[in-house]
Amino acid sequence: MSTISSAEVARVAALARIALSSDEIDRLAGELDVIAEAVSQVNRVATPDVPATSHPIALTNVTRPDVVAEVLVRDEVLAGAPSAENDQFAVPQILGEGA
């Protein structure tokens, strides 16, 4: 049975882009371990002969005509943004210094 170490929590938190304090990392490692144990049950019955079901209803591709329409009001969208300038979202620096 795999367990989730503090190092793994820290690695995953970085992947998920969540800043965690060291206390949070330690606490989560302990709690996730309990869940991970329960999860091992699944592997008892998930044998190779069982097909996986990804969705409760059979999915089919759905398309609609590509028609120009009023979708969202720009001012309402930007009013909910943490920062906006010149009718656009203003975001922190995206490219690194080396880019």
Catalog residues that contact another protein under the rule CB under 8 A. 4, 8-9, 12-20, 24, 28, 31-32, 34-35, 38-47, 50-57, 59, 61-62, 64, 72-73, 76-77, 79-83, 89, 91-94, 96
Q: 68 vs 79, which CB is nearer to another protein?
A: 79
Go through the chain and tell me how many residues it has: 99
Q: Coil, strand or helix: which one is 85? A: strand
Given a contact cutoff of 8 angstroms between Cβ atoms, the answer to whether 4 and 33 are in contact is yes
Q: How far apart are CA 25 and CA 11, in angstroms?
A: 10
| Min CB(66)–another protein separation in Å | 13
